Amino acid sequence: MNILNWIKFRRLLKWLCIMVVNCPMVLLSQTTNIGYTNAASFGFMPNSSGTDNLKALQKAVDVGGTIVVSQPGTYKLAGTVYIGSHTTLEFGNNVFIEKVNELGAFSHVLLNKGALTKTYNDHISVNGLSIIVNGVDVRAFKEAYGLHGQLAFYYVRDLHIDHFRCLDLGKAQYGIQVCNFEDIIINDVIIKGMKDGVHLGRGKRFSISNGVFQTFDDAVALNAQDYSTGNPELGWIEDGVIENCHDLDAENTTGFFCRITAGGWIDWKQGMKVQQSDAVVSNGKIYRVQAQPDGTIYTSLTKPTHESGKKMLDGISWGVVQNDTFHTCGVKNVIFRNIFLDKPRVGLSIYFDNDKYNRSYYPGAEIPVQEQITFDNVRVLHDKPVPFLQVSSPMDMVTITNSSFRNNKIEFYGNKALSDYGKTSISVYGCVFNQNQPFDFLTNNIVGKEIYLKTFGNIELNKGFHAKINSGGGKIRIESDLTGLRP
């Protein structure tokens, strides 16, 4: 290129830069579907009503690409905004979205569009979202029965949620809920309040990292099987990492830092007894009883075959859940790493429900076995004598490494769901035991339960430490380096 052409090129480049700078962002993005859209260009403003902001933000999101909310302030929002594929929603510093009841109570602040038709959305990012629930806390189940996250995604792939904040969760809704997913990243979250922080249903390949939780109910829930009101679908949750998370202390509590659930159900058969939340396979679909949790046992005489929605048959409200014919679900191949348990409650629970709200396992169904759960560098920071790990469903292998225990045992218990809970192997190595007295390291409450416990490379900080095992009528084989357990 000669000098004259180079000068012409530089002038052209300068002119293009001036045009880009002076061109309104909204015009650029609307005409080319590239660049950035400022939501303010559609009227999304801190001083606008929740109704006007709902319309404005929906119009901005419908453009696609990257939508920016940059002006600091509290933005009222009177309804759910539906986000589509290949869309990023960026919220700047000191931007808050406050739910308001101008058009009636509503559940979700954001929900992907595919949730309405059970079709996948791809490549969605939500960055910097801070939600103020403001008492607008309801399970409307408008879009899908069982879906009630403040931030919710159902049928989604390649999802990234970053820098999420919600400090006033109510009793009805989760902070983040994702079900039927592939490849999701949830990073840098602070969630406080009454209900679950992050609640996952069916899906594979996930990461939950850098979270601070102070929730009355579960901080994190991996609910492959759930109450009928708890998730819109059933299915395996697999191949994930939960790391760098804190479970902060609070005055009141229930639940666990993490609940890990499994379930099994059968093909429908005439005369079967069912209750709230029971599932059956029929007509190539999975149906569930969607009733009141009042302990009523129903006799099903009419096979559910309807294609969608609910239908009352023999006094039973059957809801279509999904077009699938499998019979078990659970959690497998999940690693917990760098977890700090400050709240005095059960840390990790590998779980079956068996009460009036939900029966995880229907008698006679194929037995679900949860697989390969690892706990690495878990720190128990409280002194209350509650289990570190509680297991009430079949589990093949648990690995605990580089962790620190106080008065926190491993406990197995049954809930009359099964006659045989199978064999579980436990490997414990590189851990620190802080007790200075006899310590109930493992307690079993299931008659006939088989457990193989192997410990090695652990450290006892005090001379008074003495590990004890309560077999509870089970069959426990031990290879251990711990005082009280080694030969």
Q: Which of 203, 210, 196 is nearest to 243 (CA)?
A: 210
Q: What is the pLDDT of residues 373-419, one digit of tens each?
A: 999 999 999 999 999 999 999 999 999 999 999 999 999 998 888 88
How confident is the model at residue 132, as a pLDDT? Answer: 98
SS3 call for 252 = coil
Mean pLDDT confidence for 139-164: 97
CA-based R_g, the chain, Å: 26
Closest-CA residue to 147 (of 231, 237, 261)? 231
Domains located in the chain, CATH noted: 31-264+329-479 (2.160.20.10), 266-322 (no CATH)
Q: Tens digit of pLDDT for each residue in 33-69?
A: 457 999 999 999 999 999 999 999 999 999 999 999 9
- The reported pLDDT for the residue numbered 419 is 86
- What pLDDT is recorded for position 5? 54
Q: What is the pLDDT of residues 314-345, one digit of tens each?
A: 999 999 999 999 999 999 999 999 999 999 99
Residue-averaged pLDDT of the chain: 93
Global pTM value: 0.92
274 pLDDT above the threshold of 60: yes
- 149 in Cβ contact with 176 (< 8 Å): yes
Q: So what's the pLDDT on residue 20?
A: 40
Confidence of residue 12 (pLDDT cuts 50, 70, 90): low
Q: Tens of pLDDT along 96-106?
A: 999 999 999 99
Confidence band of 29 (pLDDT split at 50, 70, 90)? very low
Confidence at residue 18, expressed as pLDDT on a 0 to 100 scale: 38
Reported confidence tier of residue 16, pLDDT bands at 50, 70, 90: very low
> What CA–CA distances, in Å, run from 471 to 118, 394, 410, 417, 442?
47, 17, 12, 20, 8
Quick one: pLDDT band at residue 446, thresholds 50, 70, 90?
very high
Read off the pLDDT of residues 202-257 as tens digits, 9 standing for 90 and up: 999 999 999 999 999 999 999 999 999 999 999 999 999 999 999 999 887 888 99
Tokens of 26: 């909204």
Beta carbons of 261 and 368 less than 8 angstroms apart: no
Element of type H or E holding 476: strand 475-479
pLDDT of residue 15: 44
Percent of the chain with pLDDT over 70: 93
Go through 428-442 and write b for each residue having 16 or more CB atoms within 10 A of its CB, e for each that does not: beebebbbeeebbbb
